[in-house]
Structure 1
Amino acid sequence: MEHLEIERKFLVTSDAYRHEATSQTRIAQGYLSTDPDRTVRVRIMGDKGFLTIKGGPNDSGTTRFEWEIEIGTAEATNLIDLCNTGILEKHRYEVLYGNHFFEVDEFLGENKGLVIAEVELNHEDEKFEKPEWLGEEVTGQKKYYNSQLSRNPYTTW
């Protein structure tokens, strides 16, 4: 099946990744659907807009269908206005470590204090080097899905 996203998620234990980051981008995103089997996300990332549809995860939680298209920021802004309550805001840092890019998200607002790193893989069993700031793996734990954080923010746990 095309359009598969294979990734693993980890909590982050220190801010050392900031010094290793090659870029930082502010992200705002909302959800038109937060059904775990089919989420529909609208995102403004820097000066670009995106519409993304994700399917439910496989048994290991590492793989799921993902389809994304770039849209204008005006359209994205209009769609965010239609989204469910709970717009997420975060800073994303990209870090190259070994042969893999890690996307480290520092959440803001009601999810402040939560920092998650994701690494995208070519297959589920792919080996990768783990930076020292990578903590507990939370792959497949639904409470860490962005769609769920928009409904049940980290600061309320």
Structure 2
Amino acid sequence: MRYEVERKFLVAHAGWREHAVSRHRLTDGLVGEFGGGKVRVRLDEETAWLTVKGRRDGLARPEFEYEIPRADAEAMLHLVCETCLIEKTRHCVPHDGAVWVVDEYRGALAGMVLAEIELEHEAQDVVLPDWIGREVTADLRFRQSTLLRLAREAGRPVTLPEVIAARL
């Protein structure tokens, strides 16, 4: 069993762009939520996955990920996740021996930009790039399910100030 250990941050400015080494267009669909966990289907240009993430304990949570046929993922996105889709471009940005991912959202979350770093363990030291802003790892407003709900309620993409002002 694998544990995902990650931290999430706002992005202060676009200085990361000049250091990005790759990018992938992703579509995520929320299949369901349960007791602090979720089941997600993800599709990129070439591959599809089904992922089960358990309840978070600190920065870590169990994660089970399985490659699935692309046609199955497309069907799930269309038939099961139709109103819970997240579209983003994921950029990989190396910094100080680590690889950050910067997600630029499209669609219902257009304009939102968040950065994440996956760690080997919770106590791992991280050197923050100068383009990293405030940490939002534990901030429920920045969970993708919350961002989608806020956008649905607004009937349009929500802005960062609106998310920050949101009351949960």
Q: TM-score, normalised by structure 2?
A: 0.85
More helix by share: 2
Structure possessing the higher relative contact order (Cα contacts under 8 Å, 6 or more residues apart): 1
SS at match of 2:129: coil
Structure 1 stretches of 4+ moved >6 Å: none
CA distance in 2 between counterparts of 1:14 and 1:140 reads 21
Q: Does 1:17 align with 2:19?
A: no
More strand by share: 1
Residue in structure 1 matched with residue 131 of structure 2 by the alignment: 133
What is the total number of aligned residue pairs between the two structures? 154
CA distance in 1 between counterparts of 2:148 and 2:35 reads 13
SS at match of 2:42: strand
**Structure 1 residues 79-108: Cα deviation after superposition (integer angstroms, max 9, x where no partner):** 112125131101100011011110110011
Q: How far did residue 150 of structure 1 move?
A: 2.7
CA distance in 2 between counterparts of 1:54 and 1:142 reads 16
Q: How far did residue 128 of structure 1 move?
A: 1.5
CA distance in 2 between counterparts of 1:84 and 1:141 reads 26
Alignment of 1:33-112 (within 5 A): 33-35=32-34, 37-58=36-57, 60=58, 62-81=59-78, 82-83=80-81, 85-112=83-110
CA distance in 2 between counterparts of 1:36 and 1:131 reads 34
Checking the alignment, whether the CA contact within 8 Å between 1:99 and 1:128 is kept in structure 2 is no
> Gapped runs of 5+ residues in structure 2?
152-156, 163-168
Residue in structure 2 matched with residue 31 of structure 1 by the alignment: 30
Identity among equivalent positions (%) equals: 36
Q: TM-score, normalised by structure 1?
A: 0.91
Q: How far did residue 43 of structure 1 move?
A: 0.7
When the two chains are superposed, the root-mean-square deviation of aligned CA atoms in Å is 1.6
